[in-house]
Structure 1
Amino acid sequence: MVEICAGAGGQARGLELAGFEHTLAVELDPMAAATLTLNRPKWRVAVGDVADPSVWNPEEFREKVDLLAGGVPCPPFSIAGKQLGANDERDLFAWAVELTDTIRPRALMLENVRGLSAPRFSAYRQHVLDRLKELGYVADWRLLQASDYGVPQLRPRFVLVALREEDALYFSWPEAKPDAPTVGAELKELMAANGWEHADDWALRASKIAPTIVGGSKKHGGADLGPTRAKRAWAEMGVDGMGVANEAPPAGTPKGFNPKLTVEMVARLQGWSEEDNWQFAGRKTSMYRQVGNAFPPPVARAIGERIAAALNHEGEPRAQEPEAVAHDKVYRVLRGSSTPLTLDEIYEQLGQSLPHAEIEVRLKHLMRDFNMHRDTNDSGDETFQLGDFRAFIGQDDHVRHEYLAQMRSKVS
């Protein structure tokens, strides 16, 4: 496999456990790349912008890998941000899809935040599915909850999996097994490591699943456990979310004390187990960001095992590939039309299945990610014709290049 935007190795570790071997991992952040090398010194790790041809040559891997995987930047789709999508200079999702055409792997796996599953990005998702179909892949999206795969954390991730047609018939999403341990059960031994006599009592208070851990970015301050709402949830479990500790509470710490979590504890809540023995490079804040931004290894493993099973043609194939979900019918209508369409014409081509008001909302979303040619016909009605996708797919003159040149030290 080749992994892009590999981070500190959460996805890498999970896919490794699923049976995949890394041919290359590419990562922008030097500390996260150092973490990969620290844990897997024999891996080839390229450090730098994944879209920079001087960092690595995708053509080198054409038709030579089974899986292309990655966790491309989340801010373009995060509900905590402006959800600029294709207009966000950090967006690499569309570029990663085009990379599939260059490398031609048997399978593609990309993960991102839940925000990408929102109605705002229905046309973006439809474009990705249609483009992959053009490239000969059968693709599907799925919103997965980390706690359904043994991770003691509420961490929804939106995952895209695409396989070549001959392999897709054998793929199925991993079944949810909602038996994740609580924060207290997972961390009790680590909390007691320095002799805290009340670690058992603390574990009883922390008998819930953790809220989503937020790694944050280099643009913001030090390590803490997220926004105000998340900190309240942590406080209810007896955890001080205002920072990250260097070590567990010492002996003599009073009962009822709200400890901070250490980086090791946060890693455990992200799904790294003691057996993984995964070490993190850098200082505490850097280590916490690496852990907090990671894809939980157990989730990556669950998906990776299903991809591996499909590539090995295990089990009985489906009789036929189920019809793909239409994420945005308005996009489909406009994309399939060689002439401009009025609102009424779009409505008729949709079989009157969407009211005009909903079509207008979809059009507004479309205009944020695609160039839209708007005009007026002879009857005075406004017309719409879909133009090019605005996302970065490797254009030499794209604004992303200037953004990275100016903001390199703050991009993570």
Structure 2
Amino acid sequence: MPRKKSLSAAAFTVAEICAGAGGQSLGLHKAGFTHSVAVELDATAALTLSQNLKFPVVVGDVADPQVWQPSDFEGVTLLAGGVPCPPFSAAGKQLGTSDERDLFAWAIEQIPVMKPRAVMLENVRGLSAPRFAAYRQRVLDRLDDFGFVGEWKLLNASEFGVPQLRPRFVLVAMQADDMRYFRWPEPQDRTRTTVGDALHSLMAAGGWRHADAWREVANDIGPTLVGGSKKHGGADLGPTRAKLGWARLGVDGKGVADAPPSKDAPPPSEWMPRLTVEMAARIQGWAEEDHYQFAGRKTSQYRQIGNAFPPPVAKAIGDSIRAALLHEGEERTDLAEHADLHDPVYRALARSENGLSLDELVANYNDGSVAAVQQRLAALQRDFELVTVQDGETERYLLGEFKGFTGQSDHWRHEMLAKHSNRVS
């Protein structure tokens, strides 16, 4: 892939896919990026984006060529996105390529089309699980095919001033001569912002006399907000375990309030307030000075917030990408060492034309046990076709087609979206 022209500090553009309500968008703006386009499936979230950030927003399925043409944005500095998380979420069924919302592999295939200088894609922690090792390895191998070096990193939002843990698994990729200058952002808030400190002024906005006492109860970071989807979830703070975590901080997680506590509301020893939409946004990292307004009704607003990428985390990564593209700082000398091997079984099969026996696969796997290799093969079969052939008395494994959606015109995803478009989010 040919190198792009040198960038001036003011020339950073971004095309963002699956943009949601704009958590990542806002953070990237604060890092100095300007949107050329954003694409979002949900019309209400798209309205939130366009009303707040004033850039071109396209509404519809990002993989539908009738909605937009990625080639129209060739040469954009950054391809970014928060592709849907349910395919990888432990709160769901971790269907991976069997989930019509899986767009990670499709996004990677846009690199030779759009020719960006950098890529930033984020998802839930579940994508880092052993179940998806072969999936991750395929992503890295495709990046290599396109002349890019990719790195994954699990980042906790609480380390960047956000009052919830919210671990996110982030992929950043660039060409090697740029990636040598990329360093993951360092934690910025070692004392951590607590829920009480973040929300005290909002809890007191209705004159609640016990807001100070509540702040003392809410003296830790919160569980990860769960926005849910059109298939599952509503305006509450998540599953039972999350609600229990919120209860320990003096918050009723069974719903979202229309207003802060009134002046005469009971003390936190007797009663737990619910978060308002504005409070949920503050928990997710939107600041008062952002003056951000969410379109739609309360459930939609909360879902937009709960599914967002925290703006402070997006800004921190955006700052690191920008510095790398400007070749700021010292060159890294460890880049080759960071070329992680996520799944040696997949890698061995992908490089073999005639297939490999179980013994040969064991020799390629650092665990060195038959049981471990068989477990990897079982996981691999969920996202790839796996064929077995007899070679005399030896059974050999051949890696077949990737089951995921990469843009195929005949993929089953198209029929699923045509039938159930109102349930996909």
Short-chain TM bin: over 0.9
**Is structure 2 residue 86 aligned with structure 1 residue 105?**
no
**Is structure 2 residue 350 aligned with structure 1 residue 339?**
no
Amino acid at match of 1:288: Y
Amino acid at match of 2:416: Y
- Rounded to whole Å, the distance in 1 between the matches of 2:240 and 2:347 is 40
- Rounded to whole Å, the distance in 2 between the matches of 1:161 and 1:373 is 33
SS at match of 2:317: helix
C-alpha contact (below 8 Å) 1:77/1:113 kept by paired residues? yes
Which of 287, 305, 311 aligns to 1:297? It is: 311
* 1:22 paired residue number: 35
Alpha-carbon spacing, 1:276–1:353, altered in 2? closer, same or farther (3 Å): same
* 1:348 paired residue number: 363
* 1:189 paired residue number: 201
Shift of 1:222: 3.2
SS at match of 1:14: helix
* 1:382 paired residue number: 395
* 1:61 paired residue number: 73
SS at match of 2:48: helix
Which of 258, 265, 273 aligns to 1:259? It is: 273
TM-score normalized by the length of structure 2: 0.94
* 1:207 paired residue number: 219
C-alpha contact (below 8 Å) 1:147/1:179 kept by paired residues? no
* 1:40 paired residue number: 53
Which of 11, 18, 23 aligns to 1:10? It is: 23
SS at match of 1:213: coil
- Rounded to whole Å, the distance in 2 between the matches of 1:172 and 1:311 is 11
SS at match of 1:374: strand
**Is structure 2 residue 179 aligned with structure 1 residue 168?**
yes
Which of 320, 325, 341 aligns to 1:311? It is: 325
Amino acid at match of 1:368: R
Alignment of 1:210-289 (within 5 A): 210-220=222-232, 222-256=234-268, 257-289=271-303
- Rounded to whole Å, the distance in 1 between the matches of 2:387 and 2:253 is 49
- Rounded to whole Å, the distance in 2 between the matches of 1:373 and 1:238 is 54
SS at match of 1:11: helix
- Rounded to whole Å, the distance in 2 between the matches of 1:179 and 1:267 is 21
Alignment of 1:134-173 (within 5 A): 134-173=145-184
SS at match of 2:385: strand
- Rounded to whole Å, the distance in 2 between the matches of 1:215 and 1:349 is 41
C-alpha contact (below 8 Å) 2:344/2:364 kept by paired residues? no
Shift of 1:349: 4.1
- Rounded to whole Å, the distance in 2 between the matches of 1:200 and 1:396 is 58
Amino acid at match of 1:80: A
C-alpha contact (below 8 Å) 1:149/1:179 kept by paired residues? no
Amino acid at match of 2:245: A
Alpha-carbon spacing, 1:353–1:218, altered in 2? closer, same or farther (3 Å): closer
C-alpha contact (below 8 Å) 1:75/1:81 kept by paired residues? yes
Amino acid at match of 1:354: G
* Consecutive unaligned residues in structure 2, runs of 5 or more: 1-13
Alignment of 1:365-404 (within 5 A): 365-379=379-393, 381-404=394-417
C-alpha contact (below 8 Å) 2:70/2:114 kept by paired residues? yes
* 2:8 paired residue number: none
- Rounded to whole Å, the distance in 2 between the matches of 1:306 and 1:67 is 12
Q: CA deviation digits over 1:338-378, x for unaligned, max 9?
A: 1021101222344x752111111111111111111112221
- Rounded to whole Å, the distance in 2 between the matches of 1:169 and 1:241 is 44
Shift of 1:318: 2.0
Alpha-carbon spacing, 1:268–1:387, altered in 2? closer, same or farther (3 Å): same
Alignment RMSD (CA, Å): 1.1
TM-score normalized by the length of structure 1: 0.97
SS at match of 2:381: helix
Number of aligned pairs?
Answer: 408
* 1:327 paired residue number: 342
C-alpha contact (below 8 Å) 2:234/2:299 kept by paired residues? yes
Amino acid at match of 2:25: A
Amino acid at match of 1:366: L
Runs of 4+ in 1 over 6 A off after TM superposition: none
- Rounded to whole Å, the distance in 1 between the matches of 2:74 and 2:266 is 60
* 1:408 paired residue number: 421
Shift of 1:221: 5.2
Q: CA deviation digits over 1:171-225, x for unaligned, max 9?
A: 0101123332110111000000011111000111111100000001112353000
Amino acid at match of 1:175: E
C-alpha contact (below 8 Å) 2:234/2:303 kept by paired residues? no
* Consecutive unaligned residues in structure 1, runs of 5 or more: none
